[in-house]
Amino acid sequence: MRLKGAVVVITGASSGIGEATAMAFARRGARLELGARRLEKLNAVARKCRQAGSPDVNVRLLDVGQRASTRAFIAAALRDHERLDVLVNNAGTGWVGPLHQMPEDRIDELITTNFKGVINATQAALPWMLERRRGVIINVASVAGFRPSPYSAVYSATKHALVGFSHALRGELSGTGIKVCVVYPGVTSGTEFFKGKGPPIGVVQYPASWVANLIVRTARFPRRDAMVAPLRLLHLAEPVLGGLGDHLIGEARRRALLD
């Protein structure tokens, strides 16, 4: 796909990976529709995107957990640009701690934001894409989408659900011209993800710009699954790691949480 002039819609663009992704598409001359709940942050990202080369940037309040808000966001993007080439479902949130201590409102928030939010945005965008027989949907999962993370059981479950949803939908849409892709970040620096949500775990950390560049590459060459090199190795080792991986990561997290 040619990105110059393409319309790219990004959820959760007010910080971290979403912000870096907006900048990466802006540098390639894409037109942007950015959504999140913090408008002042979105406006700051939009200013940077215009300076970086995007000819057209709109920001809108968006709560992906609210079906009406998500539908209105996608409808506004289509009204503004009359097209939608790439949908990046990036908005997400996490929680780290023992499951029995996880508050019910956080359980609901993780499920609605990380999973239902993606369904909401995808359902809203699909009729237009199906009619034109084109479009790329990129769902930002996590390494926890294939390597479940102890002390993040609900988060891991939402990302597994997202991977299953994405792969099933990719099959459902084969032959329609629409591609569904999954990007799996690992522990990513320069984000607000771990703010007040427990310590990160993972020896390999890389900047949000790496994930952003991977997302841009995925938009141009829409692969089913995209991950940065160190995680590809972990992905390959997954069938061997199995329960031993659960145990080792569980121990490491327990120690990190006790420190």
Ligand X SMILES: NC(=O)c1ccc[n+]([C@@H]2O[C@H](COP(=O)([O-])OP(=O)(O)OC[C@H]3O[C@@H](n4cnc5c(N)ncnc54)[C@H](OP(=O)(O)O)[C@@H]3O)[C@@H](O)[C@H]2O)c1
Instruction: Report the catalytic residues.
Output: 155
Q: Does 119 bind ligand X (CB under 6 A)?
A: no
Among residues 54 and 93, whose Cβ is nearest to ligand X? Answer: 93
The C-alpha atoms of residue 224 and residue 218 are separated, in whole angstroms, by 9
Q: Which of 46, 49, 62, 249 binds ligand X (CB under 6 A)?
A: 62
| Segment interacting with ligand X (CB under 6 A) among 22-30, 166-174, 180-188, 246-254 | 180-188
59 binds ligand X (CB under 6 A): no
Report if residue 63 touches ligand X, rule: CB under 6 A.
yes
Minimum CB distance to ligand X smaller for 63 or for 85: 63
Separation of alpha carbons 13 and 237, rounded Å:
32
d(CA 142, CA 183): 7
Least distance between ligand X and beta carbon 155 (Å):
7
Q: Angle at CA 130, nearest 5°, toward 129 and 134?
A: 55
Helix (H, G, I), strand (E, B) or coil at 148: coil
Q: According to the binding rule CB under 6 A, does residue 151 interact with ligand X?
A: no
Residue 150 in the binding site for ligand X (CB under 6 A): no
Stretches 6-14, 77-85, 229-237, 244-252: which one binds ligand X (CB under 6 A)? 6-14
Asked if 93 interacts with ligand X (CB under 6 A), we say yes
Q: Does the protein bind ligand X through residue 257 (CB under 6 A)?
A: no
Is 25 a residue that touches ligand X (CB under 6 A)?
Answer: no
Q: Please report whether residue 34 would count as binding ligand X according to CB under 6 A.
A: no
Grouping H, G, I as helix, E, B as strand and the rest as coil, residue 164 is helix
- Residue 149 interacting with ligand X (CB under 6 A): no
Strand, helix or coil at 151? Answer: coil
Segment holding 20, helix H or strand E = helix 16-27
Q: Is 185 in the site for ligand X (CB under 6 A)?
A: yes
Phi, psi of 225 (to 5 degrees): -135, 130
* Minimum gap (Å) between residue 139 Cβ and ligand X: 9
Residue 158 CB, shortest distance to ligand X, in Å, is: 8
Closest CA to 153 of 89, 249, 21, 24: 249
Among 113, 120, 149, 218, the residue binding ligand X under the rule CB under 6 A is 113
As a whole number of angstroms, the distance between CA 27 and CA 17 comes to 15
Instruction: Determine, following the binding rule CB under 6 A, whether residue 21 of this chain makes contact with ligand X.
Output: no
CA torsion sign, 39 to 40 to 45 to 48? Answer: positive
Q: At what angle do helices 117-132 and 153-172 cross, to 10 degrees?
A: 10
Q: Give the span between the Cα atoms of 74 and 259, in whole angstroms.
A: 44
User: Which parts of this chain interact with ligand X (CB under 6 A)?
Assistant: 11-18, 36-38, 41, 62-65, 90-94, 113, 140, 142, 185, 187-188, 191-193
